Amino acid sequence: MGILKEIANAFKGMFREFTMFMFGMSKAMREHSVEALQLQYLELENSFLTIIMGGLVGMPFVPLTLSMELAPLLSDEIKLMERRHMLGGDVLSDYFSSIGGDW
């Protein structure tokens, strides 16, 4: 009878370990999915900005009416451009801006 109890305890331990492993894999997959979605969001945002503000870098213009309708969505990017414009000729501030943070 003692051997059966040990085998049952061994199976319970293996099942517990397998359950914890599956839980960890599920959590890792969710975190990886969130990171992939964030990266895709940034890529889509860059594409959007390129389409709307492409005229500033020599790309063909989007129709003006469409640009004007979408302009309110660019408020954060316009604030960022204004802040960078204020820092204009300061090379050191451009360097720190490129590595992130609001120095």
Domain residue limits, the chain: 1-59, 63-103
Which pTM value belongs to this model?
Answer: 0.46
CA distance 4 to 10: 10
Gap between the Cα atoms of 35 and 57, Å rounded: 30
| 70: Cβ contacts below 8 Å, ≥ 6 apart | 48, 52
Specify the pLDDT at position 64: 75
Q: What percent of the chain has pLDDT over 90?
A: 12
DSSP annotation of 52 reads: H
Q: Is the separation of the CB atoms in 90 and 98 below 8 Å? A: no
pLDDT value of residue 68:
77
pLDDT of 36 reads 87
More confident residue, 55 or 45: 45
pLDDT band per the 50, 70, 90 thresholds, residue 22: very high
